[in-house]
Amino acid sequence: MNFDDIIYVLCLLSCVGAGKYVRKIEDESQRKLICTLFGLVVAFIVSGWHVLHCVISALLGALAVVYVHPSKTHLITFVIMFAYLAFFRLAHVFGFANPPGPTNMIQMVLTLKVSGVAFEKASSWKKLKQREQELSGTKTAEKELIEISDYDVELQSVDIFEIFQYSFNYIGVLTGPYYRYRTYRDYFETPFKYYAPCVETTVENLKYAAIYSVIYATVDYMWPLSYALSPEFNERSFIYRFWYIWPAFLIFRMRIYTGLCLSECVCNMAGFGAYPEESDATNGEGPRKQYLHLKRDADKRSYNFNTIVNIRVREVETCFTLREGMKHWNICVQYWLAVNIYRQFPSKKYRTGVTLLCSAYWHGFRPGHYFCLLGAACYVTVEDIWQKLVGKETTGLKRLIIDGMFWFAKSCIGYNYLGTAFMLVSFSNIWSFYSSIYHVGYIGWFLMLASGLVLTKRKTAISIKQK
């Protein structure tokens, strides 16, 4: 762990501790201002004057959200935020100093939040327009009129200062999780935070964060990734070199698990993202049912933090396929990608590819990101082919064996092999390591694809003959 990592973790822990005091502030306007100022201070501590990148991009995005017509605001804001993300990462090309790693995380979360407001505003405007047309008779009404909330109306008049405060709220400023502007507003306008099990949930998550950090430190000490690039590594047996992908990606997973757990603790202690069970809150989105009426007897409700849950570690580790594992990893970002990219993209044929490409772009421009994330898209394709071949209706011992094989393939190729590329970052490092194990992951993937296509074709031909 380098010096930047230590400062980063200390800032996260300070954000966790601040939640207890933030909840005690009675005046909501004062609470909101303090949350913003504290967020800016934390961002400055880990970034120095590089934090100006974050401030400038947030203001540019906010201007687009407020002044561009609602029918186009999501597209323009998206372009501005993602273009600035590119400029930020290529600062050295323009003669600027490269920002530190923690600033990159802040900029990444900021990109999603500001463009997310624009997508929310555009969606609400569309609903308002459709409702207006239905009521005026210029458009045939659906079986039920489109449901319009006060939030949809108020979102059309959101101002720059509100977006700025949302962007730099200390809760989530460092490493997420991503949450909607509605979730941010609810925190200051509802009493749920006073009755949620804040301390209990925080302590529980801190326990897991401690376990993950110990595993991370232990495995990183015993099997450091740098060893895989040393001349001595090539002298080891092939089995050892191939096996090394397991501890290598375990280090990465434990690092991510620790960070995401701590980021959830920041929300938990402040009571942020807490909603009554009756609201049916889901990860990233928040309540799916009417919930504002629950404020009247908030003290009689039971609460959860589903809205800000960003990872389900048990499911990631035990699920049988990579497609399922991806659903449980960085969940709130997955929600943003699903709602704003996957569902918005006009071509159904290319939705998955475009979404994964956007995810790779958001993560960075380094070759390792594309080897990993686009490789995952290819692996999922093969996985889907074989799922259809073996049949989901299989039961008993045969099903158990099939699931075990899928789990091993997911862990070996889907996680460890592709994930190692993500950590090695540069093309030269990736090529050097993959060459040392003779590119067996890609060879295995190709054989699985070829055999899967042949068997699918044969199965289809047999079913046609039987008809």
Write the DSSP assignment of 81-115 as a string of letters.
HHHHHHHHHTGGGGTPPPPPHHHHHHHHHHHHHHH
pLDDT at residue 6, rounded to an integer: 82
How far is the C-alpha of 358 from the C-alpha of 338, rounded, in Å?
11
Residue with tokens 């996985």: 383
Rounded mean pLDDT for each run of 10 residues along the chain, 467 residues in total:
77 93 91 95 93 96 96 95 94 87 92 96 90 72 66 91 96 92 95 95 95 94 91 92 94 92 94 94 92 90 94 93 90 94 87 86 88 87 88 80 91 91 90 92 91 88 76
pLDDT at residue 7, rounded to an integer: 84
How far is the C-alpha of 16 from the C-alpha of 171, rounded, in Å?
9
DSSP for 326-344, written as a single string = HHTSSHHHHHHHIIIIITT
pLDDT at residue 138, rounded to an integer: 67
Closest of 84, 119, 114 to residue 345, by C-alpha: 119
pLDDT at residue 141, rounded to an integer: 54
Closest of 411, 440, 435 to residue 424, by C-alpha: 435
pLDDT at residue 142, rounded to an integer: 55
End-to-end CA separation in angstroms for the chain = 63
Give, to the nearest 10 degrees, the angle between helix 351-363 and helix 73-89: 40
Catalytic residue check, 2 = no
pLDDT at residue 150, rounded to an integer: 84
pLDDT at residue 58, rounded to an integer: 96
Catalytic residue check, 363 = yes
**Tokens representing 199?**
């301390």
How far is the C-alpha of 340 from the C-alpha of 349, rounded, in Å?
17
pLDDT at residue 29, rounded to an integer: 92
C-beta of residue 413 within 8 angstroms of C-beta of residue 441? yes
Tell me which of 363, 369, 416, 429 is the catalytic residue: 363
Tell me which of 169, 205, 310, 330 is the catalytic residue: 330
pLDDT at residue 152, rounded to an integer: 86
pLDDT at residue 96, rounded to an integer: 86
